[in-house]
Amino acid sequence: MRIGVYVCHCGGNISEVVDVKKVAAFAEKQPDVVLVRDHEHMCSEVGQKLVIDDIKEHKLDKVVIAACSPQFQGSTFKATLEKAGLSPYVLEMSNIREQCAWPHFDFPEEATEKAKELTSIAIAKARLDEPLTKKTFPIGKRVLIIGGGIAGIQASLDLGDAGFDVYLVEKNPSIGGKMLQLSRTFPTEDCAACILSPKMADVPANPNIHLFTYSEIEDIKGYLGNFEVTVKKKPTYVDPAKCTCCDDCVDVCPVAVPNELDEGLSTRKAIYLASPIAVPHSYVLDDKACLGIFPLACGKCQEVCDPGAINFDVYPEEIKFTVDTIIVATGYDIFDATQKKVYGFGRYENVITALDMERMIVYASEGNPMRPMGKRIAFIQCVGSRDEQVGNEYCSRICCMYATKLSQLLKRSDPTRDIYVFYTDLRAYGKGFEEYYKRAQGDGVKFIRGRPAELIEDSQTNEITLRVEDTLTRNIIEAEFNLVVLSVGLRPNRGTEKIADFLRLAKSPDGFLQEAHPKFRPVDTLTDGVFVAGTVQGPKDIPDTVAQASAASSRAIRLMNRGEYDVDPVMAFVHTYVCDGCGLCIEQCPTNAISLTSRDENSDKSLYPKVAKINEALCKGCGSCIASCPKYALDLHCYTNEQMLAQIKAALADKKDGEVRILVFADDMACYRLADNVGTAKMSYSLDSRIIRVPSGSRISPKLMLQAFSLGADGILLGESEEKSSPYPNSIATIKSNISKVKDILEKEKINGNRVRFVQFVTVMLSGFVNNINSLSDFVRKLGPIPSEGLKRLDKDIDKRLFGESHDK
Amino acid sequence: MINKIVITSENVDFLNKISELSDQIITRCDQCGVCSGSCPMIADMDITPSQMMRMVQLGRQEVMESKAMWICASCFACTVRCPRGLDLSRVAEALRQVKLRQAIDYIDINNISDDEIERLPQIAMVSAGRKFTG
């Protein structure tokens, strides 16, 4: 083994505090180190060339660079190693700028000592580094889009046009989603059906899109590049190729049921066209409403069908296919206004939802009004939104503007109408929204600030009396209206539940699907290869939905376009010779990446027939499985048990009498970056701390923690990102459970359990980091050293205490 | 005449006191007015319940001079409808507590007329008397 160590001056940033020469001299004495250099600027062209030349000339196989944070120049040096023909994974960086020179600038001697130790930790890890390469997996160009609303349509067209194989699955007989029901769209007042129908027509016209309407997802299994999808297609009993849409069947059908398109305000027949602009444009026989097909009870429609398009002898079809990525665009349901009892929806005939009003306006504008509306109309905002009484804290974002739209459409079509909008806050945040609100005000729509308390129906006239405080004048208003429109909010579509289960998608507290990161990965989910688009992720208007659908398509293309994708080799692996196939790890894995398989009898002889296997396409490399294995058969590339232990030993090796050492296991996402930020801000913290970088604190098993104590650590801090920004699902729960095990064992040996701490950080909590480190340092200093008898007992029987006696049997 | 309100840190102290006594996060009130519209006693009040909340938010101690907090019958109509889940009855109760703790004595036993003694319930006399013992 030939390790080269480079110590950087960083143009004085490091060398003005840390004695670089001393660090270099220290490194020279370390075993396996064959070359040590110090340089003004390691990251410069000259510095990088130095490394490349040395690797070739001195046949270095490991490189340690003591310089800035690996978060800062790590990728630069990895590329340098690749240029020299080495694996980028044999690079280790000792962070002597952000962790020594900067935070400890007032203590140059101590900072130099710490720099030596950090370098020796890096060397210890480098010694065990494996020359890994990036994993590359093949991927096809097939994508499943769930939901044929405007989000699903947009995503399908984007991907279909880009040449990808699109499977679009919609549960209704026609695509189009909720937008099919709208009158006009705010703030431009385009007719919704007019702008939607050409887009809908583009879907079947696109040769790359396989459209499945009247179909539901039955099952999805697998992972990125290999999702196995089962779709159940309900029979429509009408052959779209033969159907001429002559409407003769509808005339003879004796069954009338509420029409979903009109929110039940009108009726449709059992055989019907889902919408005048339905795509596919063909009739559907609703077998639940039909008088009977098995045995045939009526059959009139078949008798009158000239082209013979109706066939009763058809059955649900099960269709199976495999896709590489998935876009979930299952949309929303409107809030069920009957839940809001004080508004009497469902009991009072003159209280309707805004979606009812959309339909009524569509019919009225065609000169075919559904029902009289009267002259006095009130809109009530925030029904089912921003209301803890119904359990919805969130704002539905679109109701302010659709009420503004509906109110002025009504006012303009009949200026003698009195239209009132009762609101709590009017949010006109989008492009052209404020101007649109102003236009409504100018048209004479009256906006009154106050949330109506209750509606009372006059039993004679069915007029509605509305009671509200005008909160701007502090008067109580009691007014009669002919019609009250509830501006109902959005809630997650019921169908999403099932899909979320199949794909293990998390929900945010509002019940909508959770994106992978609220700022930088807004359409990704934590399940690789699964994206969200539209209102399934949260309430949004049409432009936002379309933008998100295009974003999701582009993210899917990013994965599929090259035909293969790269993954960091930081993944769990199994020491197969130790694994006894107990399967305890399977439950622990948050991405279901572990399974039990039979051993290959020829190459892998063992007493145990089964062995754990990691699916590398699913493993995210958090390492939380490691703690669950009683045999320590599981391990993590780049952060192996041996490497972790070597780093811990190196961190504690130079501990002198009277000194204390706190090991900080800092997760990559938050805590390690935070420590860098603290350093950059030149904020000082306890010199007792040694930061060791891990992908997630859940990688640190209880055994490692106990070993650290018996090797001389006085305190341990696990710093982890908050649950919502963590790339690893369920890591927090694993850490908590690991820590409580460690605490129990420590307490039994009369060692203070608070020597182990767990803190969730965000990268800007600079003083929080400093305070936590300092308080743990003060705490363990006050406690004094750990009594040695307890320590000795700790060393023995660790496994028995963690997993019980019985596991071996 | 339009009143000018001066807001100082004393106002915040008052808000904090009422918040603590009522165990309600009063600053969460978004002034939608559902409480006022729901209140069966509103006709007898000088300020609306939502106005009472606003005055407490701004720490305006004059709120304790209002009649509204005494008229509140703790029927909880506002509480069950508040979209922010606030309990206004508890806020009114907290205001009453603060007012009562000032122990302002309106009754001088010596000056109660015979006629009033005749009509006053005994317990009222006892409680009026007890104020002097604390």
CATH classification code of A333-491: 3.50.50.60
Domain A639-809 has CATH 1.10.150: no
**Which of A425, A451, A474 minimises the CB distance to B34?**
A451
Spatial contact of A487 and A356, defined as CB atoms under 8 Å apart = no
Q: Pick from B37, B83, B85: which is nearest to A476 by CB?
A: B37
pLDDT at A515 over 80: yes
Check: CATH 1.20.1600.10 for A572-635? no
Higher pLDDT, A604 or A735: A735
Q: Does B50 touch chain A (CB under 8 A)?
A: yes
Query: Domains of chain B: which residue ranges?
Result: 9-102, 105-134
Distance in angstroms (rounded) separating the CA atoms of residues A82 and A435: 56
- The span from the CA of A712 to the CA of A792, in Å, is 11
Query: Is the confidence at residue A682, as pLDDT, over 80?
Result: yes
Distance from CA of A350 to the nearest CA of B (A): 20
Q: A454 and B38: CB-CB below 8 Å? A: yes
Per-residue CA distances from A394 to A254, A651, B130 (Å): 44, 48, 51
Cα(A698)–Cα(A627) distance, rounded to whole angstroms?
A: 8
Q: Give residue A806's pLDDT.
A: 57
pLDDT score of B37? 96
Query: How close does chain B come to A505, measured CA to CA in Å?
Result: 29
- For the segment B2-29, what is each residue's pLDDT rounded down to a tens digit? 888 888 888 999 999 999 999 999 999 9
Q: Are B32 and A467 a contacting pair at CB < 8 A?
A: no
Q: Are the C-beta atoms of residues B73 and B41 closer than 8 Å to each other?
A: yes
Per-residue pLDDT at A263:
95
**Residue A425 touches partner B, C-beta closer than 8 Å:** yes
Average pLDDT value for residue range A393-422: 97
B31 has a chain A CB within 8 A of its CB: yes
Of A40-54, A527-541, A786-800, where does mean pLDDT reach its minimum?
Answer: A786-800
Q: A187: cis peptide before it, omega within 30°?
A: yes
A526: confidence class by pLDDT, cuts 50, 70, 90: confident
| The pLDDT value given to residue A777 | 96
pTM: 0.81
Confidence of residue A568 (pLDDT cuts 50, 70, 90): confident
Contacts of A468 in chain B (CB under 8 A): 33, 37
Does the pLDDT of residue A311 top 90, yes or no? Answer: yes
Q: Which residues contact A519 (CB under 8 A, 6 or more apart)?
A: none
**pLDDT given for residue B134 in this prediction:** 44
Q: What's residue B131's pLDDT?
A: 61
Residue in B closest to A475 by C-alpha:
B48
CA distance B124 to chain A (A): 36
pLDDT at A31 over 70: yes
pLDDT at A493 over 70: yes
Arithmetic mean of pLDDT, A745-757: 91
A342 touches B at CB < 8 Å? yes
Please compute Rg for chain A using Cα positions. 33
Nearest C-alpha neighbor of A319 from the set A189, A455, A167, A543? A167
Whether residue A339 lies within 8 A of chain B, CB to CB, comes out as no
The CA distance from A484 to A380, in Å, is 7
Neighbours of A286 (CB within 10 A): 21
CB A212 within 8 A of CB A203: no
Question: Domain A142-331+495-560 adopts which CATH fold?
Answer: FAD/NAD(P)-binding domain (3.50.50)
Show the 3-state SS of A84-138: CCCCHHHEEEEECHHHHHCCCCCCHHHHHHHHHHHHHHHHHHHHCCCCCCCEEEE
**Cα separation of B31 and A469, whole Å?**
10
pLDDT exceeds 80 at position A137: yes
Check if the beta carbon of residue A559 is closer than 8 Å to that of residue A324.
yes
Instruction: Dump pLDDT digits (tens) for B25-79.
Output: 999 999 999 999 999 999 999 999 999 999 999 999 999 999 999 999 999 999 9
pLDDT at A25: 96
The topology (CATH level 3) of A1-132 is: Rossmann fold (3.40.50)
What does the DSSP assignment read for A298-366? --HHHHH-TT--B-S----EEEEEEESEEEE---EEE--GGG-GGGTBTTBTTEEEHHHHHHHHHHHHT
Q: Residue A728: which pLDDT band, with cuts at 50, 70 and 90?
A: confident
- Assess whether pLDDT exceeds 80 at residue B130: no
| Mean pLDDT of chain B, nearest integer | 89
pLDDT above 90 covers a percentage of chain A that reads 84
Touching check for A382 and chain B: CB below 8 Å? yes
**CB-based contact B83 A387, cutoff 8 Å:** yes
- In this structure, the strands spanning A483-488 and A490-492 are unpaired
Mean pLDDT of A640-662: 93
User: Which of the pair, A600 or A390, is modelled with greater confidence?
Assistant: A390
- Residue A200: how many other CB atoms lie within 10 Å: 25
Instruction: Give residue A809's pLDDT.
Output: 41
Residue A653 has pLDDT above 70, yes or no: yes
For residue A98, give the nearest of A76, A114, A75 by alpha carbon: A114
- The pLDDT tens digits for A61-113 are 999 999 999 988 999 999 999 999 999 999 999 999 999 999 999 999 999 99
Section A659-683 average pLDDT: 93
Res. A713: pLDDT tops 60: yes
Identify the closest residue of chain A to B35 by CA–CA distance. A453
Sort out which chain B residues have CB atoms less than 8 A from A425's CB and list them. Answer: 30
Query: With bands split at pLDDT 50, 70 and 90, how would you rate the model's confidence at A618?
Result: confident
Please state, in angstroms and rounded to a whole number, the distance separating the CA atoms of residues B77 and B34: 10
Q: Kindly report the nearest CA distance between residue A393 and chain B, in angstroms.
A: 8
Residue A596: strand, helix, or coil: strand
* pLDDT classification of B118: cutoffs 50, 70, 90: confident
Residue with tokens 């005494």: B70
Q: Can you tell me which residue has the tokens 């009504």?
A: A410
pLDDT at A178: 96
Could you tell me the maximum CA-CA distance found in chain B, to the nearest angstrom?
51
Side-chain half-sphere of B117: how many Cα atoms within 13 Å? 7
CA atoms of A351 and A530, how far apart (whole Å):
40
Which part of chain A is CATH 3.40.50? 1-132, 639-809
Which pLDDT value is given to residue B132? Answer: 58
pLDDT at A211 over 90: yes
Provide the pLDDT for residue A593: 92
Interface test with B, best of A426, A469, A477 (most B CBs within 10 A): A469
Per-residue model confidence (pLDDT) at position B101: 84
Q: Average per-residue pLDDT in chain A?
A: 93
- What local confidence, expressed as pLDDT, does residue B20 receive? 96
Q: Is the pLDDT of residue B133 over 60?
A: no
Query: ipTM score here?
Result: 0.85
